Amino acid sequence: MTQKPYIIVLGNEKGGTGKSTVSMHVIVSLLRMGFSVGSIDVDARQGTLSRYLDNRKMTSAEMANPLPLPEHFPILPSQTSLREDAIKEDQHNLEQALTQLSSKRFIVIDTPGSDSFLSRAAHAVADTLITPLNDSFIDLDMLVRLKSETLDILRPSTYAEMVWEQKKQRAIRDQGTIEWIVLRNRLSSINARNKEQMEDVIQALAKRIGFRYIPGFGERVIFRELFLSGLTVLDLEDCKMAMTLSHVSAKQELRNLIHLIQLPDVERLVA
């Protein structure tokens, strides 16, 4: 029996949280472990992941040893005016891309920072959903409504409710499950009160609405600089770039991240 691809979706409904950066680093990590990887950008209008991969292709073309690349599909939302027809077209385009990548071990899907049928459809096929979250209460508002004076949890947000709906739909459709991981990104090295309060609220929220919380990347300029060349922290040695202490720390953060996501077949390679 042919093994189905394991699907990793990067999603939330807020831009600027590092979805495409995390997507790219997960993709390259898996490629460098020897896995076959496909990628889908359902945020093709913004196209950050697609441009990141285009930049990588250009850098790779100038190297003696080419960089590993996934098989990639960008998907634009339907421009059909009738809603029902647009939904059918979006669903068809996503299913077609998944079929094209059906021989891959992993598929990584990057989604937009807004609600759309295409984004919901991508969430619904996830085996693991990763929601990057900047370390601020502005971004936390995407997950939960808090009482301002006490930081008590009032209710889950619209996005959290949407994820739960997709989890239910997935269970009905194929008895599958979606593991939801919230990843705190751009962590400050300073142990500020805001950071401690965020930690407390997220830990409480994880138990209440059913996600697993893990730390992500620190606030490092290196992650923004690498975009233009299409590189990740795993490519620096191949490109003969001098490794600073920040680069080494970023590489260790990525290794920890891949370990904590707990993907099938991966644990033995990062343990």
Task: For residue 265, give the 3-state DSSP assignment.
Answer: coil
Q: 43 with 111: CB under 8 angstroms?
A: yes
Helix (H) or strand (E) holding 59: helix 48-61
Domain assignment of residue 14, yes or no? yes
Domain assignment of residue 218, yes or no? yes
Helix (H) or strand (E) holding 1: none
Domains in the chain, number: 1
56-97 pLDDT tens trace: 999 999 998 999 999 999 999 988 989 999 999 999 999 999
**CA–CA separation, 229 and 46 (whole Å):** 18
152-211 pLDDT tens trace: 666 667 888 888 889 888 888 888 899 999 988 765 555 556 667 777 778 877 877 788
Q: 24 with 142: CB under 8 angstroms?
A: no
| pTM over the 0.75 mark | yes
7-53 pLDDT tens trace: 999 998 877 788 999 999 999 999 999 999 999 999 888 899 999 99
Domain assignment of residue 1, yes or no? no
**Structural domain that includes position 145:** 6-270
Residue 151: other Cβ atoms inside 10 A:
15
Domain assignment of residue 178, yes or no? yes
User: Domain containing 262 — which CATH number?
Assistant: 3.40.50.300
